Amino acid sequence: MKLKLSALVLALSATVAMAGPTCHVPKEKWMKEADFKALMEKQGYTIKTFKVSKGQCYEIYGLDKDGKKVEIYFDPATAAELERK
């Protein structure tokens, strides 16, 4: 029983650790998706996937200007980088 409980706690901890940031910005203040994407491309990113994360932040998967894979969370109002994985 202890082994099962330990495995469950470990699994839940990993899920929490994998979660991205949470953004508390009213949607009416969000930058338009097209404007955000254009800004990221102007900064040298190649966006493979763009989405709104579970935490209500903008999230991109793609390549940086050096061609390295990135997963980055951004504030949807300011486009400030919040977290990079």
Specify the pLDDT at position 19. Answer: 80
Q: Which pLDDT value is given to residue 18?
A: 62
Q: Would you give the DSSP letter of residue 43?
A: T
| Selection from 18, 75, 29, 82 nearest residue 52 by Cα | 75
Mean pLDDT for back-to-back runs of 10 residues, the chain (85 residues): 48 56 97 98 97 97 97 98 96
Q: Which domains does the chain have, with CATH numbers?
A: 21-84 (3.10.450)
Put simply, whether the predicted model's pTM sits higher than 0.95 gets the answer no
The predicted pLDDT at position 56 comes to 98
Q: What pLDDT sits at residue 5?
A: 43
- The candidate with the shortest Cα–Cα distance to 29, out of 79, 83, 72, is 79
User: Cβ-count burial of 27 within 10 angstroms (0-12 exposed, 13-18 middle, 19+ buried)?
Assistant: exposed
Specify the pLDDT at position 1. Answer: 56
- Can you give the pLDDT at residue 8? 44
